[in-house]
Amino acid sequence: MTIPSAVPVKALVFALILLSGATSFAQEAEHGQYLSAIPADSGIRKIAVTHVTASAGRAGSAAAMSISREHDRLMNYLEVLEMPGKDAGITGKDTGLPLDQRKTGKKFYYHLANVFARLRLYPLAMKCYFKASRPNPNTVDSLSVPSDSLKTIQYAALQVSSKDDSIVGTAAMTMREKLTDKKKRRSKRSRPTSFPQIISNFNDGKTAVAYALLFHVKQPAPGRAKIFVGVNTGHTFITLIKYNTDSTYSSASFGFYPDKDQLLSATPISPTTSATFKDDAGHLWDEVLGKFISRRNFENILVLTQKFEGMTYNLNQQNCTDFGLQAARLAGIGITDTFGKWPFGKGNNPAVTGQSILNGKISNATTGEELFFDQTVTAGH
């Protein structure tokens, strides 16, 4: 292959670095549960999710466990995962709260949200965040339920459940297997998925009561705004969660990737190529933002996902970070300063975006509500 003389040497070097490693914009990541397959017709199904009504929620609220019992159950999860409270950043003051103070034990629940997010147990993490933040029910703009009723419904439906017991047990077993089996410690690339597979995950025939989004960033150099490090250019992806009135839930973590048409596709020399979505349930991250969102925003993000399904990938203006930022904006999450330059190109990227999150350049369109935030790194230079 002959490279045009007009192509800067730096751009060629950068492209070759990308080619020598991963075939996508993302770092290798351990893969978790793969989204279930769709029926043989494989057609894009209409976005149709059943939503809660006031009468549907009242039945669920009767089964809500006591605050004390939930507290003990969550602490048991840490023991099952072999993570004592103090190692999880939870002090004796948090774990030994009297019953009357546990109602406002925000620090306890927020710490647990951080712990479960780092274990990639995102639905459980956001349940804990809900207890810590009590999101404004008025932001759920498309549920025809009075605010007071909605708050009761959500609190009941977002109690820890038998599904959480099962998932935590599976996670603990997986962690132990990795300690004893070297082969299982090896990371795997995120596997291809599609919009029909993503939407089928939420068409479970159950009544929804709440929705959440998480925005994840894996920087190539954790804690630094360095756009590429060797073959690693980082990755941005999202997680969507649908909670049901019966305390079950469904979720999908996915990102936008290049699907290379030729050797130099998705490099500064040839930035445009075909695209695909991949299941990022097991992908590592350095920074994460999250919030509960309205039904309207949840559906708008699915519409955005369907729109991107038919798009091409462009390293400069339609990459994984562009998709993630658009989804975040639909959820009311704002991040300033996400743009950077590289040889023969420029655009939004994980390195600068992650650094802006670390530096607090974030906003929430929902008045009076803090975003869920966690990081596994500290800001460098």
- % of the chain at pLDDT higher than 90: 51
Higher-confidence position of 33 and 332? 332
Which two three-digit tokens encode residue 42?
């494989």
Paired with 251 in beta bridges are: 241
In the predicted structure, residue 126 carries a pLDDT above the cut 70 = yes
Which two three-digit tokens encode residue 177?
């297997």
Indicate the domain borders of the chain. Answer: 9-375
Paired with 375 in beta bridges are: 287
pLDDT value at residue 138 = 52
Mean pLDDT on 194-198: 97
Q: How many CB atoms lie within 10 A of CB 147?
A: 12
Q: Report CA-CA distances (Å) from 312 to 55, 117, 121, 257, 279.
A: 45, 31, 31, 10, 18
Query: Sorting pLDDT into bands at 50, 70 and 90, what band is 230?
Result: confident
Residues 301-311 have pLDDT tens digits of 999 999 999 89
Judge whether 233 and 321 are in contact, CB under 8 Å.
no
Query: Sorting pLDDT into bands at 50, 70 and 90, what band is 379?
Result: confident
Query: Sorting pLDDT into bands at 50, 70 and 90, what band is 206?
Result: very high
| Maximum average pLDDT range among 144-153, 154-163, 256-265 | 256-265
Instruction: Please report which helix (H) or strand (E) contains residue 54, including its range.
Output: helix 54-61
Q: From 351, 276, 289, 361, select the one nearest 321 (Cα to Cα).
A: 351
CA dihedral 201, 203, 204, 205 (to 10 degrees): 180
The DSSP annotation for 287-351 comes to EEEEEEE-HHHHHHHHHHHHHHHTSPEETTTBSHHHHHHHHHHHTTEEE---EEEETTEEEE-HH
Q: Tell the burial category of 124 from Cβ atoms under 10 Å away from its Cβ (0-12, 13-18, 19+).
A: buried
In the predicted structure, residue 354 carries a pLDDT above the cut 70 = yes
Range from 20-34, 149-163, 218-232, 313-327 carrying the lowest mean pLDDT: 20-34
Residues 245-277 have pLDDT tens digits of 999 999 999 999 999 899 888 888 999 999 999
